């Protein structure tokens, strides 16, 4: 990773990292201590199940920032909503609820309509 990329990591960024024992970690940045080259991140998923949900500090050189354009699953959004509630971050909570509602709306729109009277599945989408 280039030096410029390291300093682009900010609080809230999603990252992938390797632990000192080689385990994979996926989480988001909670605190960025540039003067010490240390990042504090909240572990959302890890090979080491004991790390999941924990806040850990890791050297910046072991971190790769993930694209912010990835789509979250319904379950991931629920986990983030819980974290927003724990941190009393109302704006983040509202944003996540809007994302969840949009995801549910899209999921409903993608589901084919079933006519139970005729026992047929139609491919046209409901409005």
- The residue among 51, 37, 40 whose CA lies nearest residue 13 is 40
Q: What is the mean pLDDT of residues 70-93?
A: 82
**Chain segment 109-125, per-residue pLDDT in tens:** 776 665 666 655 555 55
> pTM here?
0.53
What does the pLDDT look like over 17-54, one tens digit per residue?
A: 988 788 899 888 888 876 678 888 988 888 888 888 88
Q: How many CB atoms lie within 10 A of CB 41?
A: 25
Strand spans (E) along 13-112: 14-18, 24-33, 38-46, 55-59, 63-65
Cβ–Cβ < 8 Å for 21, 46:
no
Rounded to whole angstroms, how far apart are CA atoms 63 and 114?
47
């Amino acid at each position: 990773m280039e030096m410029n990329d390291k300093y682009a990591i900010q609080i809230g960024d999603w990252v992938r990292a390797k632990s000192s024992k080689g385990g994979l970690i996926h989480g988001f940045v909670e605190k960025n201590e540039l003067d010490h080259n240390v990042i504090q991140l909240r572990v959302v998923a890890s090979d080491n199940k004991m790390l999941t949900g924990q806040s850990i500090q890791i050297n910046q050189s072991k971190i790769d920032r993930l694209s912010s354009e990835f789509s979250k699953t319904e379950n991931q959004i629920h986990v983030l909503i819980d974290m927003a509630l724990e941190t009393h971050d109302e704006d983040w909570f509202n944003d996540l609820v809007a994302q969840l509602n949009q995801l549910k709306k899209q999921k409903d729109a993608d589901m084919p309509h079933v006519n139970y009277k005729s026992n047929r599945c139609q491919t046209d989408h409901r409005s």
